[in-house]
Structure 1
């Protein structure tokens, strides 16, 4: 079935947006805040209450096709109302939205009563095809993210689309996921050839917050996003499940956080895989800043990727490139760690900081020209406070003030 959205559409096929049963979860269904340690190392994060599964109204259900074919909606203008109506047509019943090529959709209002989401909540399988299009929040608008994806069936794919200037506010909601928030097991997000930029989360996940869902990013860029606490680009949390993320042939660059992980933060019980991906120029600024590029306590694998030019700044800054803690495991293969910086009094681990019972294994992954700067700084390349670091064909050279701390606790590194 194919629908076309005319230029002015306050009503779609006789249905207002409200007829599709849009709504936000009740306060009890909002994801619970992480434990004191955002990575769940000090204590386990409490699982949220089961997310509210929205049931389409009787009127909305009648719009579903009689066969197994999904709705296919074409947006023929660049207007906010047309975009919201088109996504509303498929959000709960599933389908595909095709945007008008080259449009910039400027959102001025959230979709009532979802006052922290600019677009209808996704509870079914939805694909949005952009063609160089941009969805942005107006500078004068109230704060809201763009998408909330709810389990157990919410599944969103974005193709060739830019999301910019989203803002998840702790004043209006939970402050998670500046552009996109995944809530609950079964929720899933796929980004293809897309760009998430200048989004802000007051708490976690400047661009994406994934709570017990699945994220797949391919040939995309996450740039200049900001988190008030952790995960400037992406925050992954299990919330009693097993949040996962895979990133392939992508760029995570120039993102910022105030506490840890300017790039990617991954909590206990999560799995993250980066392949042919660049993490560069991400930063954390503040006392006890940790993990300029990555801060993690789960299981993380890097293949043919680079961790380059990331930084932590402030007293006790740790892990300019990578911060691994708890029983976290990081394995790097053909993935250099270079030019990262931990800067401040008693800074440690310009390239990599490992602590707890964490394990870091480097295979053909050199650690070169990283720096720990400031009074009492140590371990320009790698600082292993506790846990295990192994090097296989991975030279650690040219780091400042030394390669692996004085004295080194990394076998084979001096």
Structure 2
């Protein structure tokens, strides 16, 4: 029997069928004073009563959490187990991290029975060291600000300055959302959050500086800015998805992803927007908005996709992808704007891929605009691929607009149709460099690239100069 809705009970009384009416669902609006004990009490009361409850916070108040919830010390507020609407009215809920004695805890955890709507609220300063959605995964950290294992809707809010850190694997510096009920983020700022692998073992990971999702998610009209993913230097570890990493079907619409950074010295730094969705779980769809001025930096390592790194199913439509950088001094930098991995299938249409950079001094740099080097499948139509630059002082620089090579695990292919590839630069293959495999042009304009349009000579049918 549901806790929220008591069903109609049918009883046979003296030969007649009698209906006992359902209990009326409780729905309450609670005014919460500017006090942490009052906020905690309001959440506990809402959890204990059936039906949706709205908690209206004190306007512009800052609720400073100095201790975690006693029952669940990984969280600041009591676990949300029912349908709760938090209307912040400009309020902030933060972990008061100024005092050295304040323990580390996230701000909010939504249990699988929970349904959180967060409006006009700032979530700040949370610090996750555990992963309540995956309790058996000892040592993993998820969701520095919010961890959602149920249903979640965030609108007109801000998630800022939160951290998820682990010596094994960390994800979701700002938000982690493995909930299977579906979640959405709209008109929201996710900025200045951090995901950190701080262990000393080889091959650890930090994923999703702003957002990590293992469940269905839609992000609309939001800004993911200034988030970071970092790993311990010289551990051959991977920092990826500095803005967002998706492991389940995801839709991102009209959203700005900018100024995020992945850093992995002697490791792998990959993509502000990264995708590792198993095929049976759907694809990442990115429509409208911009992916700009993001950095993947891996000194003496491997930088893959300054803006976007796709290794699953992905569609990009009408997006401005500009000013992103893949940087690897003494290492390998691939895909300043976009990198397609060996298992990736990417469709990119009607987008501007402009002024991105792949730079590897004393190393190898390839594909400043788009890089498809290991057997991915790329289909690009009606895009402008312009002013992208590959540089590698005392190294190898190839494919200013596009680099393509077949893979070891699968041959892959690149199909270009009605794209404009102009004013790109590289050491060789200013427009396109094809190392091997299948690359097809269909009505594309490839001109005014330096030092040449396509290389090696004759490798790309239909491209000259």
TM-score bucket (shorter structure): 0.7 to 0.9
Change (3 A) 1:411 1:116: farther
Tell me the alpha carbon deviations over residues 294-334 of structure 1, each in whole angstroms, 9 at most, x when there is no partner. Answer: 11111111111111111111121001111101231111111
Name stretches of at least 5 consecutive residues in structure 1 with no aligned partner.
21-58, 238-242
Verify: 1:4 aligned to 2:37, yes or no.
Answer: no
Instruction: Select 1:320's aligned residue among 322, 329, 336.
Output: 336
Q: Distance in 2 between matches of 1:300 and 1:381?
A: 20
| Residue aligning to 2:115 | 125
Structure 1 segment 240-279 matched on structure 2, within 5 A: 243-258=248-263, 259-269=268-278, 271-279=283-291
Instruction: Select 1:210's aligned residue among 191, 199, 213.
Output: 213
Change (3 A) 1:410 1:261: farther
Verify: 1:407 aligned to 2:456, yes or no.
Answer: yes
Alpha carbons 2:65, 2:93 under 8 Å: kept: no
Verify: 1:98 aligned to 2:100, yes or no.
Answer: no
Q: Distance in 1 between matches of 2:177 and 2:378?
A: 29
Q: How many angstroms does 1:91 deviate by?
A: 1.6
TM-score where L is the length of structure 1: 0.77
Q: Distance in 2 between matches of 1:410 and 1:177?
A: 42
Q: Work out which of the two has the higher radius of gyration on C-alpha atoms and give 1 or 2.
A: 2
Question: Aligned residue pairs: how many?
Answer: 348
Match of 1:289, SS? strand
Change (3 A) 1:236 1:201: same
| Residue aligning to 2:368 | 350
Verify: 1:155 aligned to 2:143, yes or no.
Answer: no
Instruction: Select 1:384's aligned residue among 404, 429, 436.
Output: 404
Q: Distance in 2 between matches of 1:157 and 1:16?
A: 19
Q: How many angstroms does 1:5 deviate by?
A: 1.5
Tell me the alpha carbon deviations over residues 148-170 of structure 1, each in whole angstroms, 9 at most, x when there is no partner. Answer: 111xxx11111111111101011
| Residue aligning to 2:438 | none
Verify: 1:362 aligned to 2:375, yes or no.
Answer: no
| Residue aligning to 1:177 | 172
Instruction: Select 2:325's aligned residue among 305, 308, 311.
Output: 311
TM-score where L is the length of structure 2: 0.69
Q: How many angstroms does 1:411 deviate by?
A: 5.1
Match of 2:90, SS? coil
- Higher RCO (CA-CA < 8 Å; seq separation 6+): 1
Q: How many angstroms does 1:7 deviate by?
A: 2.8
Instruction: Select 1:75's aligned residue among 28, 47, 57.
Output: 57
Instruction: Select 2:357's aligned residue among 331, 341, 351.
Output: 341
Verify: 1:296 aligned to 2:298, yes or no.
Answer: no
Alpha carbons 2:340, 2:376 under 8 Å: kept: yes
| Residue aligning to 1:189 | 183
Q: Distance in 2 between matches of 1:397 and 1:146?
A: 43
**Structure (1/2) with the larger strand percentage:** 2
Change (3 A) 1:188 1:260: farther
Tell me the alpha carbon deviations over residues 245-269 of structure 1, each in whole angstroms, 9 at most, x when there is no partner. Answer: 1111110001111233341111152
Match of 1:10, SS? helix
Q: Distance in 1 between matches of 2:117 and 2:169?
A: 26
Q: How many angstroms does 1:222 deviate by?
A: 0.3
